[in-house]
Amino acid sequence: MTMLIRNGEIINADSRVKADILVEDGVIRQIGEKLDAPKGTEVINARGKYVFPGFIDPHVHIYLPFMGTYAKDTYKTASKAAVVGGTTTLIEMCCPGPTDPVMKSYELWRGKAEGNSACDFTFHMGVTRFDKKSEAELRKIVADGISSFKIFLAYKGALGVSDEQLFNVMRLAKELGVIVTAHCENAELVAQMQQRLIDEGKTAPKWHYHSRPPMVEAEGVHHLTTFAAMNGTHVYTVHTSCRESVTAALRARERGVKIWIETLIQYLTHDMTYAEKGGFDRASRYVMSPPLRHKSNQEYLWHGLQQGFINTLATDHAPFDVKKQKQMGRNDFTKIPNGIPSLEDRVKMFWTHGVCEGRIDMHRFVDCASTQTAKIFGLFPRKGTIAVGSDADIVVWDPKYRGKISARKHYMNIDYNPYEGWTTKGRPALVTVRGETVAKDGEFVGKLGHGQFLSREPTHF
């Protein structure tokens, strides 16, 4: 399959040029002006449009047993949503329970994706216990192409790790060159605050925020970085929600800790009042951990992305429906399945509220939503850039498009959209994954099963 994209303006994290792109066998072969199209080439006219590298979401949950239920999406739905929104690579959190066999869990998660995904994929391997057997299996999983772990400093009695386990995960990661991604909250503080609030009869969704305030998240970041410093391990804070947590990470950077920071599109566009408005059905939609924060944090997070001290933008996509699943916590906020689904709309919201409102330029837009993730997690330059030799994961972006988001039209398998009724500026006009067209003008046109597992080499020694 040969494709020639003509007349577009190519925007990378560090460059901008008007040129043609010739794609052969799923790879970018040539970039230049007035390239010749071999016989049989599909020619795409991108005049008046931008050409971006495929976007990468570094933090999604697709198969997810959690809080007594399962996330609603599968790769058959989530990967369609991803590519329609311009995301061509997913990094999913593989999250086994503390008693689950480690290798079998990895094989289970990977098996859910293989043969079913429209986009490429890889995993962060969750570590919820650490002993000799799990260590041996983790070594095998790294050898199989996984170069990042995931740990939880939250969810006491479920996914959370002890300090002894944390120390040993850090030790192993340093030895293997693996980066450790971490959910940073103090599990004991959360558990104590939850119990206090429930005992006081404070059971509504709005109290979720008060059970895990910013200082609890910041303490988790400090805890993580202390253990990272003891071992020289490279770490990455997922879904960083507030100034306090970012400050804790930056102070660790000043001490020499190798740390990268992720935030979420939801934290840039929503605030804590969304979980306070209306009745339970509406408020419960906006329960996630860490919680949506005070609105004053939003401009700080935008500034962090613009200046580069916050590295990546993710979704922590975890879809649980309102009709049944969120109802599990109607009388107890601690039982509301956590998650605000945003996989399909991350890039459009980032463009609309970032680039179009002058908060970030197009280069930072590409860097935060694609390139930085590729570099941090061992995918660059195969992914995250428009360059000769890179995979032909390409988004032809129409900046003139205007639209409105509705759950009735989205591909995510969920009965609500947190951006319901919001207007958007710009969208992908064409999306390719390794040279195959998978989406056009908001419609999925690809093939499930085209997506491939991405093997990654450890680089964080």
In a domain, 453, yes or no: no
Instruction: Give me the mean pLDDT over the 138-165 stretch.
Output: 94
At residue 67, the pLDDT reads 85
Q: Is the pLDDT of residue 430 over 90?
A: yes
Could you give the CA distance from residue 18 to residue 31 in angstroms, rounded to a whole number?
10
Structure-block tokens of residue 401: 């498009």
Whether residue 84 sits in one domain with residue 165: yes
Segments forming the whole domain that contains residue 323: 54-376
In a domain, 460, yes or no: no
Whether residue 273 sits in one domain with residue 395: no
| pLDDT category of residue 48 using cuts at 50, 70 and 90 | very high
**Burial track 357-370 (b if 16+ CB lie within 10 A, e otherwise):** eebbebebbbbbbb
In a domain, 384, yes or no: no
Give the phi and the psi of residue 402 in degrees, each rounded to 5.
Answer: -130, 135
Instruction: Give me the mean pLDDT over the 181-192 stretch.
Output: 96
Cβ proximity of 135 and 195 under 8 Å: no
Whether residue 291 sits in one domain with residue 309: yes
Cβ proximity of 211 and 194 under 8 Å: yes
At residue 66, the pLDDT reads 86
At residue 360, the pLDDT reads 98
At residue 81, the pLDDT reads 98
Q: Is the pLDDT of residue 42 over 90?
A: yes
In a domain, 385, yes or no: no
In a domain, 418, yes or no: yes
| pLDDT category of residue 257 using cuts at 50, 70 and 90 | very high
User: How many C-beta atoms lie closer than 10 Å to residue 200's C-beta?
Assistant: 9
At residue 422, the pLDDT reads 98
Provide, rounded to the nearest whole percent, the portion of the chain with pLDDT above 90: 97
Could you give the CA distance from residue 72 to residue 76 in angstroms, rounded to a whole number?
11
Domain count, the chain: 2
pLDDT digits 0-9 by tens, 393-409: 999 999 999 999 999 99
At residue 265, the pLDDT reads 98
Query: The whole model's pTM is what?
Result: 0.97
Whether residue 270 sits in one domain with residue 121: yes
pLDDT digits 0-9 by tens, 224-256: 999 999 999 999 999 999 999 999 999 999 999
| CATH number for the domain harbouring residue 279 | 3.20.20.140
Range of weakest confidence among 1-15, 150-164, 299-313, 435-449: 150-164
For residue 381, whether the previous peptide bond is cis, meaning omega lies within 30 degrees of 0, is yes
Whether residue 123 sits in one domain with residue 31: no
Per DSSP, helices labelled H in 232-342 are 243-254, 265-269, 280-283, 296-307
In a domain, 451, yes or no: no
DSSP state of 261: E
Q: Is 68 left (phi over 0), alpha (psi -120 to 50) or beta?
A: left
Amino acid at 103: M
Whether residue 194 sits in one domain with residue 310: yes
Whether residue 352 sits in one domain with residue 304: yes
Whether residue 219 sits in one domain with residue 280: yes
At residue 182, the pLDDT reads 98
In a domain, 158, yes or no: yes
Instruction: Give me the mean pLDDT over the 282-309 stretch.
Output: 98
Whether residue 395 sits in one domain with residue 355: no
Q: Is the pLDDT of residue 153 over 90?
A: yes
Q: How many residues does the chain have?
A: 461
Average pLDDT, rounded, for the chain? 97
Whether residue 72 sits in one domain with residue 90: yes
Whether residue 31 sits in one domain with residue 60: no
Among 316, 288, 263, which Cα is nearest to 62's?
Answer: 316
At residue 68, the pLDDT reads 87
At residue 375, the pLDDT reads 98
Whether residue 352 sits in one domain with residue 408: no
Provide, rounded to the nearest whole percent, the portion of the chain with pLDDT above 70: 100
User: How many C-beta atoms lie closer than 10 Å to residue 450's C-beta?
Assistant: 18
| CATH number for the domain harbouring residue 18 | 2.30.40.10
Instruction: Give me the mean pLDDT over the 9-15 stretch.
Output: 98
CA dist list (Å): 232 to 153, 212, 382: 19, 29, 28
pLDDT digits 0-9 by tens, 338-376: 999 999 999 999 999 999 999 999 999 999 999 999 999
| pLDDT category of residue 1 using cuts at 50, 70 and 90 | confident
Cβ proximity of 237 and 264 under 8 Å: no
In a domain, 459, yes or no: no
Q: Is the pLDDT of residue 156 over 90?
A: no
pLDDT digits 0-9 by tens, 75-114: 999 999 999 999 999 999 999 999 999 999 999 999 999 9
